[in-house]
Structure 1
Amino acid sequence: MVGRVLGGIATSLLFSAFESWLVAEHNKRGFDQQWLSLTFSKAIFLGNGLVAILSGLFGNLLVDTLNLGPVSPFDAAACFLAIGMAVIMSSWTENFGDPSDNKDLLTQFKGAAVAIASDEKIALLGAIQSLFEGSMYTFVFLWTPALSPNNEDIPHGFIFATFMLASMLGSSFASRLMARSSPKVESYMQIVFVVSSASLLLPIITNFLVAPSKVKGGGISFAGCLQLLGFCTFEACVGIFWPSIMKMRSQYIPEEARSTIMNFFRIPLNIFVCIVLYNVDAFPITVMFGMCSIFLFVASILQRRLCAIADKPKTEDWMAMKERDTEEEPLTEP
C-alpha cells in the first residue's frame, strides 16, 4: 500500500514536473518555440517507444536468460532511477519560480482552480486530456482479454513491442505535422480523436460480424487479428497525442501554475480509471470499449471547440488575476 501511494506521487511528478521544467527552461533561454515541439516528439519517440521496447527486452534478459528472478527488473529500474537522479542533480538548474510569490498548498490549488474556471481553453484542454488518457489507461487493461477471449496463446511481448512501434510512428508523424505552419495542432487533433474513437469500436464490430470461436486455446483468431489492427491504429494515435497535448499545454497553461494545473487534470482521470476497474467484471468487454469510444468522440467535439477559440484572447489572464487580488487586499494604516 505504501508503495502504491509513493508510486502515485511519483506518477504525478513524472507527468508534470519534467514538462514544466522543460517549458520554463526553454523560455528562459529564449529558444525557438518550434524546438519545443521537436523536443516533445523526440521524448515520446525515444522515451515512450524505443526505451520501452529495450526495457522490455532487458527485463526479459534478466528473468529468463540470466535467471535472476521476477523481481530483478524492479531492481534494475531502481538503478536507472538513481542514475537519472544523479544526472538531474548535477546538470539541471533549479526552477524556483518567483520567490516573492510563495504560497501554501491550499492557495496554489485555489489559484489553479481559478485559472481553469476563468479560461475556457484551459478547461477544455483538461477535459480533453482526462477523456483521452482515461480511455488509454482503460485500454491497457482491456487489450489482453479482448485478443484472447478463449485463453488463446498470444505473444504478449511481441504485441506490446508492436504497440510501441506504432506509438513511435505516431510521434514521428506528429513531429512532421508540428514542423509545418498548417495544419495547426488544434485542427489535426480533431481527426486524431475521431480515428482513435473508431479504432476502439472494432472489438464491438467484430463481435457482431465475426462468429466467435468455440475452440479453447490455440493461436490468435481472425477477429483478434482485426482487433489488433485497430489497437495498433489507436497506439499510433497515442503517439500523436502526447507531443501534441504537450505543445498545447505549453501554449495555454500559465507557467506560474503549470504543475498544479496539470495535476488538477489528473484528478478526474484517476477517478474515472478507478471506477472502470472497480466495475470491470460488471460489464461485458464490448461495453467497456464502447464507453471508451464515446469518450474519445466527445474529446473530438471538445477539441473542435478549442480549435474555434484558439486565437481568441483570454478573458482574464493569470497576471491580471494576480494584480486584481493584490489590489483587493486592504491597505493597513502606517
Structure 2
Amino acid sequence: MEAYYWTQFSVLAVFCALMEFQKFTQKEKTQMPSSFLNFRNNYLFVYSLMMAGDWLQGPYVYALYQHYGYTTGDIGKLFIAGFGSSMIFGTVVGSMADKHGRKAAALVYVATYIASCVTKHWSDYYVLMLGRFFGGIATSLLFTVFESWLVAEHFKRGYEAEWLDKTFSKAIFLGNGLVSIVSGLVANYLVTDMSLGPVAPFDAATCFLAIGGAVIFLTWSENTGDVVENANLQQSFSTAYKAIFSDKKIFYLGAMQSLFEASMYSFVFLWTPALSPNGEDIPHGMIFATMMVACMIGSSMSSRLMARSDLRVEKYMQSVFLLSACSLSIPVFIKTFELGSGGYKGGPITFEGKLQLCGFLVFEFMVGIFWPSMMKMRAQYVPEDVRSTVMNFFRIPLNLFVCVILYNVALFPLSAMFGMCTLFLCGSAFLQRKLELITASKLPA
C-alpha cells in the first residue's frame, strides 16, 4: 500500500511538471524564432535520451552487484573503478573532444555506455570491472561533451546569450528531473512488476542510448574548441592548465564544483544505508523518484532565479551551498544527540529515517538549482577553445575525493561521512563568495 502512494505521488508530480513545461513552451513560441526552438528541442530530446540511459541504471547498480553475491567491499571496489576510470581518462577524452569534435565524442559516449550495460549480463567480477571502466569514461563525456557542444553550437548559429540560460534550465528540468522520475518508475516496473530481474533496466538503457546515438549521427553538426589545428594533446593540457591557474574565476569555479559534486556522488552511495541502517524495508525506487521530484522542482526554480535581472547567479549560489550543507548535516545531529528510536530488519522506515529523508529532499532541491546555475557560470567564465578539457580537469579532484570516501566507507560511521560532505559544501559556499566578490568588482558602476 505504501508503494502505491509513492507511485501516485510520483505520477502526479510528472503530470504537473508536464503541464508547467507545456505552458512555458507555448509562451516562448511567440517570443523566439522557430529555428532556435527547433535547435533547442533537438538538443533537449537527445539530452533526455542520454540521461534516460544513465538514470535507468542508477537505482539498480548496487542491487545488481548484490544479486550476483558480491559483498559491500567488493561493490565499493567496483564503484572506485568507475570513478578512477573517469578521473584518469576523463581529461584525455575531454581534450580529444575539443580537438577532434564534440559530436564524435558524444557518439563515443553512446558506444562506451552501451558496452558498460552489456557487461552487466555477466556475473564475472572482472567483466563487471571492465563495465565500470567503460562507465567511468562515459560519465566524463556525459557531463562535459554535451554541454560543450551546445554552447559552441548556440553561439555559432548567432543566437542570443540569454536564451542559453533557458536551455540549461530546461535540460536539467527534463534530463535531471522529469526523465529521472520516469526512469526510476520504469526501472522499478521492469524489475518488480514484470520480474525481469535487476539486469532489465540496463537493457532498457541500451535502447534509449542507441536511439539517441542515431539522432546525433543524423542531425547534429560537428564543432570543436577552435584549437590550433596541429596542437597535440600535451599542448591542449597545457592551455587548459594555464587557463585554470591564471584566472581565479575559473579556479574558484572548478574547486567549488569539485567539492559540491564530491558531496553529491558520496550522497548517492550513502543515502540507502542512512535510511535503513538496520535493514529496514524501504521502497528504494520510490524514494529515488521522490528525490528526483525535488530535483526537478529545484531546476524549475533556477530558471526563475536566473531570469531576475536584480539577482546574480554568483550571489544566490552562496545560499544554495549553505542550505545544502545544512540538509546533509542532519544525520550528524541525529547521531550526536542520539535521536534514533531504533529500527529492525524488515521493519518500516524509522522516525529519524523520515527526518533524514526530509533533509535529503532539500538537498536534491538544491542540486536542481545547482546544475543550470553552474552551467551558466561555466558558459561565462570557461574559455571555449579548451572547454571540455577544463571541465574534465575539474572532475579529477572530484573523482579522487569520491574514491577516497568509498575506499574508507567501512572504516568510519555514516555520520562522519556526512560530516565530511557538510564541510565540502561549506567550502563551496566560501569559494562562491570569493568568486562573487571578484566578479562584482568588475561590474560597471
Residue deviations 1:112-154, cap 9 Å, x none? Answer: 0011011000000000000000000011111111111222221
Residue deviations 1:234-289, cap 9 Å, x none? Answer: 00000000000000000000000000000000000000000000001111111111
Cα distance in 2 for partners of 1:100, 1:210 equals: 60
1:231 aligns with 2:327: no
Q: Following TM superposition, by how much is the alpha carbon of 1:62 offset from its aligned partner in structure 2, in angstroms?
A: 2.4
Q: Following TM superposition, by how much is the alpha carbon of 1:209 offset from its aligned partner in structure 2, in angstroms?
A: 3.4
Instruction: Write the letter of the residue equivalent to 1:56.
Output: G
Confirm or deny: 8 A CA contact 1:197 1:292 kept in the other structure.
Answer: yes
Q: Following TM superposition, by how much is the alpha carbon of 1:212 offset from its aligned partner in structure 2, in angstroms?
A: 2.4
Q: How does 1:35-74 map to 2 (within 5 A)?
A: 35-74=163-202
User: What is residue 320 of structure 1 aligned with on the other side?
Assistant: none
SS at the partner of 1:182?
coil
Segment drifting more, 9-18 vs 247-256: 9-18
Cα distance in 2 for partners of 1:211, 1:174 equals: 34
Residue deviations 1:66-87, cap 9 Å, x none? Answer: 3333222111111111110110
User: What is residue 220 of structure 1 aligned with on the other side?
Assistant: 349
Q: Mark the CA change 1:156 to 1:99 in structure 2 (over 3 Å): closer, same or farther.
A: closer
Which of these residues, 391, 406, 412, is aligned with residue 283 of structure 1? Answer: 412
1:103 aligns with 2:231: yes
Larger gyration radius, structure 1 or structure 2: 1
Cα distance in 2 for partners of 1:98, 1:223 equals: 53
SS at the partner of 2:221?
coil
Q: How does 1:183-332 map to 2 (within 5 A)?
A: 183-217=311-345, 218-311=347-440
Instruction: Write the letter of the residue equivalent to 1:286.
Output: S
Q: Following TM superposition, by how much is the alpha carbon of 1:101 offset from its aligned partner in structure 2, in angstroms?
A: 3.2
Instruction: Write the letter of the residue equivalent to 1:245.
Output: M
SS at the partner of 1:275?
helix
Confirm or deny: 8 A CA contact 1:178 1:185 kept in the other structure.
Answer: yes
Q: Mark the CA change 1:72 to 1:260 in structure 2 (over 3 Å): closer, same or farther.
A: same
TM-score (norm 1): 0.90
Cα distance in 2 for partners of 1:216, 1:228 equals: 18
Which of these residues, 163, 166, 183, is aligned with residue 294 of structure 2? Answer: 166
Q: Following TM superposition, by how much is the alpha carbon of 1:208 offset from its aligned partner in structure 2, in angstroms?
A: 3.1
User: What is residue 119 of structure 1 aligned with on the other side?
Assistant: 247
Cα distance in 1 for partners of 2:374, 2:285 equals: 28
TM-score (norm 2): 0.68
Cα distance in 2 for partners of 1:265, 1:247 equals: 16
Q: How does 1:77-156 map to 2 (within 5 A)?
A: 77-98=205-226, 100-156=228-284
Instruction: Write the letter of the residue equivalent to 1:154.
Output: I
SS at the partner of 2:322?
helix
1:179 aligns with 2:307: yes
Confirm or deny: 8 A CA contact 1:210 1:223 kept in the other structure.
Answer: no
Residue deviations 1:171-224, cap 9 Å, x none? Answer: 000000001112100000000000000111111112233542344232111111
User: What is residue 17 of structure 1 aligned with on the other side?
Assistant: 145
* Structure with the larger RCO, 1 or 2 (CA within 8 Å, 6+ apart): 1
Cα distance in 1 for partners of 2:176, 2:343 equals: 36
Which of these residues, 152, 160, 179, is aligned with residue 32 of structure 1? Answer: 160
SS at the partner of 2:320?
helix
Q: Mark the CA change 1:198 to 1:30 in structure 2 (over 3 Å): closer, same or farther.
A: same
SS at the partner of 2:159?
coil
Confirm or deny: 8 A CA contact 2:295 2:365 kept in the other structure.
Answer: yes
Instruction: Write the letter of the residue equivalent to 2:373.
Output: S
Segment drifting more, 88-97 vs 284-293: 88-97
Q: Mark the CA change 1:213 to 1:100 in structure 2 (over 3 Å): closer, same or farther.
A: closer
Confirm or deny: 8 A CA contact 1:134 1:272 kept in the other structure.
Answer: yes
Instruction: Write the letter of the residue equivalent to 1:180.
Output: R
Q: Following TM superposition, by how much is the alpha carbon of 1:97 offset from its aligned partner in structure 2, in angstroms?
A: 4.0
SS at the partner of 2:411?
coil
Confirm or deny: 8 A CA contact 2:240 2:390 kept in the other structure.
Answer: yes
Q: Percent identity?
A: 63
Structure 1, gaps ≥5 residues long: 314-334
Q: How many residues align?
A: 313
Instruction: Write the letter of the residue equivalent to 2:352.
Output: A
Q: Mark the CA change 1:43 to 1:215 in structure 2 (over 3 Å): closer, same or farther.
A: closer
Q: Mark the CA change 1:273 to 1:183 in structure 2 (over 3 Å): closer, same or farther.
A: same
Q: Mark the CA change 1:114 to 1:99 in structure 2 (over 3 Å): closer, same or farther.
A: closer
SS at the partner of 2:349?
coil
Segment drifting more, 44-53 vs 61-70: 61-70
